Structure 1
Amino acid sequence: MNFRHLGSSGLMVSEISYGNWLTHGSQVEEVAALACVRAALDEGITTFDTADVYAATRAEEVLGRALQGQRREGLEIFTKVYWPTGPGPNDRGLSRKHILESINGSLRRLKTDYVDLYQAHRYDTETPLEETMQAFADVVRQGKALYIGVSEWTAEQIRAGVAMAKQLGFQLISSQPQYSMLWRVIEGEVIPASQELGVGQIVWSPIAQGVLTGKYKPGQKPPEGSRATDDKGGSRFIQRFMTDDVLTRVQQLKPVADGVGLSLAQLAVAWVLQNPNVSSAIIGASRPDQVKENVKAAGVKLSGDVMKKIDELLGPIVERDPARTRQGAPEKRP
């Protein structure tokens, strides 16, 4: 496993991190989830990402149990706050009340005294940024989080957040956006702003919800038990990639992957890691062997010719519009 700085901070993270969105407490039974975490640890992954909303808080509980007995100083544990975790109007968003209550709940479920990174899971249009950032500053000063990050914020929002964090005396060091060969909306604005500000990307869905594994074939039904057949939420997120044009072009990547001795999934993870602003790529898994295979992308260097060939093959199906970040964000709290 290789390690990278998270943004311009001194914090080192494994360049492949383990995330449990849509798996722990939901798609995958706990025994399998624990086996996946053990596989991640065995492969040298030290960075684990979750969120209070995943599986209605159960994902944090599963991860907390899975990491029990590990040396805490040897781990980087990340979680997030924003989406609803209860029925009340204050059980969501980035108000001072919700942030300060949510960090306590996350720490209890994760069985730890602090998280290494606490992230704003979306931008809250209904709370003044000053209130949100002051609450994060207090969380840091209380020792409950070491660093602060954001997820799916626009370049403009990141700029404002970094500036206010500096005024309040803490570091906003990371952004967690979707990023893959197929979804490159952060390249136009978010990455240039982040490079300027010292913010690193922790990218999710580098395999495009499994589409870039090549297991989905054009004109064929999705394999049983795959993400595309998951009625607990997985199928909803993958649908935008499930067109014959996308699936056909993904199959055309197979010779490229073969040429560099990688599987399609490994090629996809290696591709995002070529971007110098990417600190870590999050992988999920429902089986330990998936973890063991995907970590082989660590340390892979792809040549310019390979990167160019990927661009040629994927061509017009790549989404690049920076506006998609703002379009995908809630206008009001859910």
Structure 2
Amino acid sequence: MKYTTLGASRLEVSRLCLGTMNFGRHADTSASHAILDEAHEIGINYIDTANRYGTADRPHASEEIIGEWFAKGGGRRERTVLATKVFEQTDPWPNNGGLSALNIRRACEASLRRLRADHIDVYQMHHVDRRAPWDEVWEAFETLRSQGKIIYAGSSNFAGWHLALAQASAKDNHWRLISEQSVYSLARRDIEREVLPAARALGIGVVPWSPLAGGLLAGRGEGMRRSDAATLAASEERRAALEGTRALAADLGMDSAALALAWLLAQEGVAAPIVGPRTTEQLRTFVGVPDLELGADVLARLDALWPGPGVAPEAYAW
């Protein structure tokens, strides 16, 4: 496994991030623990979850399952860069969602209990809260850091200008964002217009979620996330691109999923795509991806098959 530093920090993370949204949904506790053990075995140290990954009857299943895994000991927690998120509503009563100082504190403490951990390595805002003043957000983060409960800050689903505002306020409050999780794949290149350039300029490592477009780039449409419904609906329209990608992958002796992930890793500013396997077998198929190096000719062919949106403002101004 290869490693990189996350954003402008000194934190070392694997070039693949293990996503745990499937824990409790499509992988039971035993299968989830096997996936976590396998991740460490192949060198993945970066594990991502959220305080609302779960099911209707067990809404916090992912954090709970990870906590049970940590409780087994054997250096599991010590060898893990643990990332979780705050924002989603956890209770219909006020102050149990968003990025108020009160909810940030409550959500962090609840996550720590479920994770059976004394701190979170990267505490991430799952979405921008347009009603929360940035000084309030960073003051809450600073309180948690002073208490030893969090170390780094990250964001998810931010626009480019949100990153700029957050980072400017963070600097004033002696903080910084080190990561931004955003939907990004060959089939969804929207962030190249503003989010990716902003992240590069601001020292924020990009951690792509849905790197295979919900399975589309791996040759399967089932299990696609709601936000990728448009991509699934347009799969027939993109048949030529999909067939071209499969043919290119075959020429290179790999499958489409490996090629799509390798393309992401070749993009400047990308730290670690999030892979969310349901089984250890699926996880093992990704083992060699960080070692793949795509030549300029391959990258050009993929750009031709899956054109990007261009960079702002040139992409739309002239």
What TM-score, normalized by structure 2, do the two folds share? 0.91
Matched, 1:66 2:69: yes
Structure 1 residues 290, 269: closer, same or farther in 2, change over 3 A? Answer: same
123-132 or 143-152, larger mean C-alpha shift? 123-132
For residue 140 of structure 1, what is the amino acid of its counterpart? R
Measured against aligned partners, the alpha-carbon deviations of 1:189-213 in whole angstroms (never above 9, x if no partner) come to 1122221211111111111111100
**Counterpart selection for 1:239 from 229, 233, 243:** 229
**Worse overlay, 87-96 or 163-172:** 163-172
| Pair 1:2 & 2:5 matched | no
Distance apart, 1:246 and its partner CA: 2.5
Q: Please give the secondary structure, in 1, of the residue aligned with 2:108.
A: helix
Q: Look up the match of 1:159.
A: 164
Aligned to 2:52: 53
Asked whether the 8 Å contact 2:135–2:173 carries over to 1, the reply is no
Corresponding residue for 1:119?
A: 124
Supply the AA of the counterpart residue of 2:180: S
What residue number does 1:221 align with? none
Aligned to 1:19: 19
Q: After TM superposition, give the deviation of residue 320 of structure 1 in Å.
A: 6.6
- In the other structure, the counterpart of 2:107 is 102
* RMSD of Structure 2 on Structure 1 (CA): 1.8
Does 2:310 match 1:307? no
CA distance in 2, matches of 1:296, 1:146: 30
Q: Deviations over 1:296-319 (max 9, x none)?
A: 21121111110111122234xx66
> How far, CA to CA, are the matches of 1:28 and 1:278 in structure 2?
28
Using the alignment, how far apart are the partners of 1:120 and 1:130 within structure 2? 14
Residues 52 and 266 (structure 1), Cα distance of their counterparts in 2 relative to 1, 3 Å cut: same
Q: Matched residues in 2 for 1:102 and 1:122: separation?
A: 14
Code of the residue aligned with 1:60 in structure 2: it is: E
Q: Which residue of 2 aligns with 1:133?
A: 138
SS at match of 1:227: coil
Is the contact between residue 18 and residue 47 of structure 2 (CA under 8 Å) also seen in structure 1? yes
| Corresponding residue SS for 2:38 | helix
Aligned residues: 305
What displacement does 1:67 show? 3.4
Moved more, 41-50 or 240-249: 240-249
For 2:220 and 2:91, the matched residues in 1 are separated by 37
Gaps of 5+ in 2: 314-318
| TM value normalised by structure 1 | 0.87
Alignment-mate amino acid for residue 313 of structure 1: L
Q: Aligned to 2:114, what secondary structure does the other structure show?
A: helix
Structure 1, 280-289 or 246-255: larger mean CA deviation? 246-255
CA pair 136-300 structure 1, distance change in 2 beyond 3 A? same
CA distance in 1, matches of 2:188, 2:74: 35
Q: Which amino acid aligns with 2:35?
A: C
Specify whether residues 29 and 237 from structure 1 end up closer, same or farther in structure 2 by C-alpha distance, changes over 3 A only: farther
**Equivalent AA in structure 2 for residue 163 of structure 1:** A
The C-alpha deviation readout for 1:214-240, integer Å capped at 9, x for no partner, is 134xxxxxxxxx414xxxxx4x34422
Instruction: Classify 1:73/1:32 alpha carbon distance in 2 versus 1 (closer, same or farther; 3 Å).
Output: closer
**Matched residue, 2:223:** 227
Of stretches 89-98 and 295-304 in structure 1, the one that deviates more from structure 2 is: 295-304
Show the counterpart of 1:196. Answer: 201
Deviations 1:148-176 (A, max 9, x none): 01111111111111121121122321111
1:249: how far off?
Answer: 2.2
Conserved? CA contact 2:192–2:311, under 8 Å: no
What is the CA distance between 1:295 and its match in structure 2? 2.5
Q: Distance in 1 between matches of 2:190 and 2:84?
A: 23
CA distance in 2, matches of 1:313, 1:160: 35
Distance 1:66 1:194 in 2: 33
Greater RCO between the two (CA within 8 Å, min separation 6)?
A: 1
Q: Give the Cα separation in 2 of the matches to 1:101 and 1:117.
A: 17
Counterpart of 2:223, as a letter, is R
Q: Deviations over 1:111-165 (max 9, x none)?
A: 1111110001001012222211211121122211110011111111111111211
What SS does the corresponding residue of 1:202 show, helix, strand or coil? strand
Query: Hey, what's the Cα distance between the residues in 2 that align with 1:65 and 1:319?
Result: 43
